Amino acid sequence: MKHIHIISLLLILLFFGCNKEKEGISSNSSTKDSLSLYFSLANDIKLPLIKKQQYNQKAFAIIIEQPNDSLNRVNLFKVANRYYNMNDWQGFNKTVGVVLEKSKSSNDTINMAKAYIYLGDYYGAQGVPDSAFMYYFKAEKMYLKLDDTYNLARTRLSKANLQYNESDLLGSEIAVFNALRAIKEEKASDIVYDSYNLLGAIYNELDEYDKSLEYHTKALVSIDDKMIPIDFQPRATSLNNIGYVYQNLNKQKEAIPYFQKGLAQKDLINYKPSLYAILLDNLAYSKFKINDSKGLPELFYKSLKLRDSLQLTAGIILNKIHLSEYFASKKDTVKAIQYSKEALEDARVSKNYRNVLGPLKQLAVVEPKNASLYTKEYIHINDSLQKAERKMGDKFTRIEYETDEIKGENTDLVTQNRNLLYFFSILTILGMLLFVIKTQKAKHRELMFKQQQQKANEDIYNLMISQQNTIEINRIKEKKRVARELHDGVLGRMFGVRMNLDGLNTINNDSAIDQRNSYLSELKNIEQDIREISHDLNREKSELINNFVAIVNDLFEEQKKTYKSVLAVTVDSTIKWELVSNSIKINLYRIIQEALQNINKYANANNIKVELKKEEDNLILIVSDDGVGFNVKTAKKGIGLQNILFRANECEGIVDIQSKKNNGTIITLTVPIEEKNKSTT
């Protein structure tokens, strides 16, 4: 047969070549005929696989050189279909990728949706269900938008089959009814058949056997030979499914006639050998269950041989389990264990853990000594599969939710980008406005802070002026007092002494000498009085110089009267306050005031110590307490500490703040003063 097909092809090509000019056939017509021939040969079930692949590749080579029009894309799908029928998944995926790109470049949504369906089929066959589901979902959204109800229903049915295979039975049931709803007003017997057939399988898995039989029977009745080609063998499929439900109900006598009718369908072994093998195995198993040994175990072997040739792994495993059960019933333990172990080995190689469960269960029966090991593994794998199935069901739901199409069926990529651009532009403008507002607020706070500082400085300056005026008044009073002392006391006495001494100058007797001695003593007393008056004047000067100390002392006295904490103050007497600038005095006063205020508000201290001393060229202020303390890093943002830091900076000083929780606080201010002293001398 192979040689006849090659000779026919050569004769056809020779005929076209010899008569090209004579009959005026164009090169396009020749190409079209060649393409049609390649398609026909690539689908010829009588040719070997490698030949069919070669013809399909030749067809692809012709199509890929043609312009990207609708016919070109249709022909590419024909190539993909032939690869699919050959189970050549690599060629199938490559061809679908090409047609998808061509469809996108031409904005051909119909063929884009079809390509998504094909990709879903590809990933489903490759065991990547989440990717398959995603492509089916994309196609579903496109068909919904195109209002193509037939293909919408077909796509939903593909989703349902995928979910069924992944044991998402509830999701599969919903998808089937959605498919039926889509073609409610149309005549689509093929989709109706497939939907009823799948619903029957779903209810069988759910052990709802009455419902399963109802829908499988509906499927059988709905078969339309015009709509469903014979090569799909729908009657044999439904008959097998009905028999299988009866088998699960353990009604083997009712099941057997359905399997026999299925096997009797015309050309079943040619069109669908895999279904023929299933029917053989099911018939053999039901006969075995009712102890009808006629044709056994030959029926099992025949089915197994056919499945081996077709490389149907799941069917091979099931066949071997059935053979193990058969030989176990015949007390042939060796063969029973042999087939069970072969089934387990095949299942492990297949890397499909669902296939492992059946052999493990059978081995636990036929090999009792290792039953606990097989049962333990069975339970572990079964639990893992149930978790994986739940996760896959959740993943299908998540894909439906997260796919771009569900976010807006009428939103294209350009609109999304434009919206994103608007969004980020508005966000940027808002950010800039917030930044400007924040900057202005910061500047306003800084200005207000400086104004507050200036007002505080004015208050302190006025306080010092007021204190100065008070001292000045006291100084004038003291001068008047001293003047009165000198005038009324010292001068009068000195005048009297002088007059008496003048009167005694001419007298030299003993009485005169005694009187002169008494007047000398009086002069000594006057000298002592003058010395005391001088000391009083010195004290006045000291009070005048130390008016800052007086102001600070007033602050300390107010602190002692108002608050219960014990205040201890030490002021170094060697500090020459007259050489310290008013700016430093003002800031020093404010720092002390702020420190005491913070202690009173927050520290809850029992003891406060304030120390003012001079060390080399620096004036040192130390304010310490035994209060609750605080975290210095976080508290630096407080306005109180900001005031202290600001004023220290104003007088070019350095502040060191040490504090810990429940360990008190020490504030140390170091201010340089010697430079001012030197500049004023």
Residue 377 lies in a domain: no
Residue 104 has pLDDT above 70, yes or no: yes
* Run of H or E residues at 647: helix 639-650
The answer on 511 and 428 residing in a single domain is yes
Distances (CA, A) of 617 to 208, 452, 591: 100, 31, 20
**Does 648 lie in the same domain as 569?**
yes
At 515, list the tokens: 């009187």
Specify the pLDDT at position 640: 72
Q: Domain check: are 530 and 553 in the same one?
A: no
Q: 214-224, pLDDT tens digit by residue?
A: 999 999 998 88
Q: In terms of domains, do 526 and 649 share one?
A: no
Query: Of 580, 581, 556, whose CA–CA distance to 570 is shortest?
Result: 556
Concatenating the DSSP letter of every residue in 295-337 gives: TTTHHHHHHHHHHHHHT-HHHHHHHHHHHHHHHHHTT-HHHHH
**In CATH, what number is assigned to the domain containing residue 602?**
3.30.565.10
Q: What is the mean pLDDT of residues 37-62?
A: 89
Q: Within this chain, do residues 671 and 557 fall inside the same structural domain, yes or no?
A: yes
User: 471 and 569: one domain?
Assistant: no
Task: Choose the final residue of a domain: 510, 528, 545.
Answer: 545
Final residue of a domain: which of 545, 568, 603? 545
Pairing of strands 607-615, 665-672: unpaired
- Are 495 and 419 contained in the same domain? yes
541 and 596 fall within a common domain? no
Residue 515 belongs to a domain = yes
* Residue 141 near residue 405 (C-beta atoms within 8 A): yes
> Is there a contact between 95 and 103 (Cβ–Cβ < 8 Å)?
no
Residue 609's pLDDT band (cuts 50, 70, 90): very high
Q: What angle do CA 586, 590, 592 make, to 5 degrees?
A: 120
Is 166 contained in some domain?
no
Is residue 539 situated within a structural domain? yes
Whether 618 and 517 share a structural domain:
no
Alpha helices in 403-509 (DSSP H): 413-484, 492-504
pLDDT (tens digit per residue) in 554-604: 888 888 888 888 999 998 888 888 888 877 888 888 889 888 988 888 888
pLDDT, the chain, mean: 80
* Inside any domain, residue 522: yes
DSSP structure class, residue 575:
-
> Where does a domain end: 545, 580, 606?
545
260: tokens are 């026999």
Distance CA 116, CA 405 (A): 13
Question: Is the per-residue pLDDT at 489 higher than 60?
Answer: no
Residues 539, 552, single domain; the answer is: no
Burial of 516 (0-12, 13-18, 19+ CB in 10 A): middle
Residue with tokens 């041989």: 305
- Facing residues of 656 across strands? 668
SS3 state of residue 266: coil
Q: pLDDT value at position 4? A: 31
Is 18 a residue whose pLDDT tops 90? no
More confident call, 486 vs 55: 55
Report d(CA 162, CA 160) in Å as an integer: 5
Question: Are 528 and 598 part of one and the same domain?
Answer: no
Q: Is residue 566 part of a domain?
A: yes
* Residue 445 confidence class, pLDDT cut points 50, 70, 90: confident
- Indicate the number of domains in the chain: 2
**Containing domain of residue 571, as a range?**
547-680
Q: What percent of the chain has pLDDT over 90?
A: 28
Report, as an integer, the average pLDDT of 361-385.
Answer: 85
- Report pLDDT for 21: 36
Residue type, 284: A
Predicted TM-score (pTM) of this structure: 0.53
**670 and 616 in one domain?**
yes
Residue 15 in any domain: the answer is: no
pLDDT of 444 > 70? The answer is yes
Residue 347, in any domain of the structure: no
